[in-house]
């Protein structure tokens, strides 16, 4: 099981799909000391879809207002971190499955020094139940 699992807030931002957009966004976040726990970006029919998981959701919302960025409404996911090993997410997935909760998406990565991190989502109606099952803070 993961060493630590916590609920996180994430937002979707649509941006132009062209060189330099990600650099501009990241530079702006850095300028205002917005720490990201995770970020995922990919091309979509609307340009680039950027999923931002900030350490402090209100800071990100304030910055978005200042710059006129149109963030999606706040959504909830989970961040798991722990010791990297084969099957690191297996117990987590098994617990959720036994509780009748489907993982709808997951992004995971080895973080070096025998650590891993994973961001995963469940259906909104299952967030509280998943929190209880996993002991998420």
Q: Give tens-digit pLDDT for 74-111.
A: 999 999 999 999 999 999 999 999 999 999 999 999 98
- Judge contact between 103 and 5, C-beta under 8 A: no
Same domain assignment for residues 61 and 85:
no
pLDDT higher than threshold 70 for residue 133: yes
Same domain assignment for residues 14 and 67:
yes
Q: Which domain holds residue 59?
A: 10-74
Domain assignment present for 82: yes
Same domain assignment for residues 108 and 89:
yes
Same domain assignment for residues 66 and 104:
no
Same domain assignment for residues 82 and 113:
yes
**Neighbouring-strand partners of residue 51:** 12, 40
Which residues have C-beta within 8 Å of that of residue 31, sequence separation ≥ 6? none
């Amino acid at each position: 099981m993961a060493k630590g699992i916590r609920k996180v807030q994430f937002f979707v931002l649509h941006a132009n799909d062209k060189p330099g957009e990600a650099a501009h966004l990241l530079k702006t976040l850095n300028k205002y000391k917005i720490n990201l726990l995770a970020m995922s970006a990919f091309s979509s029919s609307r340009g680039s879809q950027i999923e931002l998981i900030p350490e402090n959701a209100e800071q990100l919302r304030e910055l978005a207002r200042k710059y006129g960025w149109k963030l999606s409404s706040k959504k909830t996911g989970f961040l798991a971190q722990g010791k990297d090993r084969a099957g690191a997410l297996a117990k987590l997935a098994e617990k959720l499955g036994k509780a009748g909760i489907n993982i709808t998406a997951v992004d995971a990565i080895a973080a070096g020094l025998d650590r891993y991190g994973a961001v995963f989502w469940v259906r909104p109606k299952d967030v509280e139940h998943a929190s209880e099952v996993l002991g998420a803070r």
